Amino acid sequence: MKIVFATNNAHKLSEVSAVLGPDYELVTLREVGITEDIPETGATLDENASLKARYVYERTGLDCFADDTGLEVEALNGAPGVRSARYATEGHDFAANNRKLLAELEGKSNRSARFRTVISLIRGGVEHRVEGIVRGMIATSEAGCGGFGYDPLFIPEGHDCTFAEMSAEAKNAISHRGRAVAELVKVLGR
């Protein structure tokens, strides 16, 4: 099955294609001629996932899906949340975001957090939404060099290492995105 994945994030593309496997051919934004940044002006992950998927559907008429993900930290009242990409600066500066997160949590004993991914799928013009969540803790310093974004700081529940210290397969098996994609496959298989 051929489907457009509305992302400019190469890490997401490789994670999602690994979970979907060879039955699905993911078409990139560039391949359908969308080179501009899709505005993410929504107030929630759900809104932004929908905005991205609808933008692509309106331009191309093709079946497509988009993922919007946020890290929700309990002691920060759910921040950075929908602003996860632009937490420290307007750019997608992973290192600056991680430094800011550590600074905001300094001295705080509650380090509980969760990653949440919302996927909006538009198939035959009809929208479906699924989500995936993984709970965990924010470490006190970065560890590991795999993954991307906040992975060096996120220790998933039941583990004693960060996502960045795990193999891609191990992260995908339990991650927010892996879980959301598993739900997506259920919808696509209907």
Q: Which positions lie near ligand ITT, rule CB under 6 A?
A: 7-9, 12, 67-69, 84-85, 92, 94, 97, 147-151, 163, 175, 177
Report the residue number, 68 or 165, with the smaller CB distance to ligand ITT. 68
Report the residue number, 105 or 149, with the smaller CB distance to ligand ITT. 149
CB of 135 to ligand ITT, least distance (A): 14
CB of 91 to ligand ITT, least distance (A): 10
Please tell me which residue in 68, 93, 151, 160 is annotated as part of the active site.
Answer: 68
145 vs 151: CA distance, rounded Å: 8
CB contact set of 173 (below 8 Å; sequence gap of 6+): none
149 vs 141: CA distance, rounded Å: 14
The side-by-side arrangement of strands in the sheet containing 2-5 is 25-27, 2-5, 64-73, 112-123, 126-138, 154-156
Both tokens assigned to 150: 């906040």
- Residue 3's nearest CA partner among 117, 116, 118, 120 is 120
23 noted as active-site residue: no
CB of 141 to ligand ITT, least distance (A): 16
Report the residue number, 104 or 189, with the smaller CB distance to ligand ITT. 104
Catalytic residues: 68
